[in-house]
Amino acid sequence: MNFWGDEQLSFFETILFSALGQPVEVIETQFLSGGDINTAAQVFSSEGVFFIKWNHAERQDMFETEARGLDLLRQTDALYIPQVVGYGQQSDKSYLILEYIDPGTPNRTYWENLGQSLALIHSHTQAKFGLSFANYIGSLPQSNSLTTNGIDFFFEQRLLPQAGMALYKGLLSKSVYDALFRLRNHLPSILPNERPALLHGDLWSGNVIVTENGGPALIDPAVYFGYREADLAFTRLFGGFAEAFYEAYDEAFPLEDGFNERVSIYNLYPLLVHVNLFGSGYVSGVERVLKQF
């Protein structure tokens, strides 16, 4: 079944030709969810099956930075990461082509494997917090300027830009912004003193998929080197993962005491991202965290 007309099929064939270097015939397509800003499809072709997503976004480097993030995660050899086939611009569209991963059913050790694999990813470190390139969280720019101090990085490149954007948009009150600004002085006594860890950066259940053999795979990263607890905290923002995941992680890479009390601090960042992406309905969550501290 082909969901799109001839123009869209020609788009698929053109970008596949560009990525593979040979003519490709599209045989069948299937519409898939592409999130809030992208359109996505499963594309069956003469050269195999591919996952393709595209958008009309003005930020033409969005898919390039996603591809680079996937490559960084794949280099850890920790768990399955889809291969990047190609990315670029064609006509008025930006696109990303990945191998298509056939979905499966979680196997008996799925959550344990995910916890151990994330611990292995987090064991990869570098001298400074940040990354050698900027990228995106959702459709929002994410600054990753290399920073020696983790607290400076977390506050100045995670919390402050999102809070400033929300204030500018009229989504966040000046009093809430000021309260968040005062939080900076408390962070040294709250956050652990750890080396930067390679993070997925957008680790919620929608970005973890089950492969055909029942194991975990990661997609849609917003990678950087930061506090590893931020990834784990993100998993709890929308309900949390199975307890076996957290137990396996902690056994492989033990957390400092008090992590549960720090979760809400780390999640100020994704909450502020959601304020800027989806509106003021998420402001109350930000206010609740600030009242705690």
Give a yes or no: residue 54 inside a domain: yes
d(CA 209, CA 286): 29
- Range list of β-strands (E), 100-230: 135-137, 140-142, 197-199, 208-210, 216-218, 224-226
Q: In the annotation, is 202 catalytic? A: yes
- pLDDT score, position 238: 86
Pair (172, 284) in one structural domain: yes
- pLDDT score, position 35: 66
6 has a pLDDT exceeding 80: no
Give a yes or no: residue 104 inside a domain: no
What confidence category does residue 1 fall into, taking pLDDT thresholds of 50, 70 and 90? low
Say which CATH number the domain at 66 has.
3.30.200.20
- pLDDT score, position 7: 80
- Using a pLDDT cut of 70, give the percent of the chain over it: 97
Pair (114, 202) in one structural domain: yes
Residue range 33-61, pLDDT digits in tens: 766 678 999 999 999 999 999 998 677 79
Distances (CA, A) of 84 to 71, 218, 253: 8, 13, 29
Give a yes or no: residue 160 inside a domain: yes
- From the candidates 92, 152, 202, 220, which is the catalytic residue? 202
Pair (72, 124) in one structural domain: no
Residue range 140-184, pLDDT digits in tens: 999 999 999 999 999 999 999 999 999 999 999 999 999 999 999
Say which CATH number the domain at 128 has.
3.90.1200.10
- Of 52, 53, 50, nearest to 38 by C-alpha is 53
Pair (83, 167) in one structural domain: no
Give a yes or no: residue 257 inside a domain: yes
Number of domains comprising the chain: 2
Pair (76, 129) in one structural domain: no
Pair (72, 122) in one structural domain: no
**What is the greatest pairwise CA distance in the chain?**
60
d(CA 193, CA 230): 13
- pLDDT score, position 178: 96
- pLDDT score, position 244: 98
220 has a pLDDT exceeding 70: yes
Rounded to an integer, the average pLDDT of 125-144 is 96
Pair (27, 152) in one structural domain: no
Pair (239, 283) in one structural domain: yes
Residue range 61-117, pLDDT digits in tens: 999 999 999 999 999 999 999 999 999 999 889 999 999 999 999 999 999 999 999
Give a yes or no: residue 222 inside a domain: yes
Give a yes or no: residue 65 inside a domain: yes
Pair (42, 137) in one structural domain: no
**Phi then psi dihedrals of residue 269, to 5 deg:** -65, -55
Pair (138, 252) in one structural domain: yes
Q: List b or e across 90-128, with b for residues whose CB sees 16 or more CB atoms inside 10 angstroms.
A: eeebbbbbbebbeeeeeeeebbbbbbbbbbbbbebeeeb
Pair (69, 126) in one structural domain: no
Q: How many CB atoms are closer than 10 A to CB 176?
A: 18
Pair (182, 51) in one structural domain: no
**Domain C-terminal end among 58, 80, 99:** 99
Residue with tokens 């069948």: 28
**Domain C-terminal end among 69, 99, 129:** 99
Rounded to an integer, the average pLDDT of 172-197 is 95
Q: Which domain holds residue 152?
A: 110-292
Give a yes or no: residue 120 inside a domain: yes
- pLDDT score, position 231: 98
Give a yes or no: residue 105 inside a domain: no
3 has a pLDDT exceeding 70: no
**Domain C-terminal end among 99, 120, 146:** 99
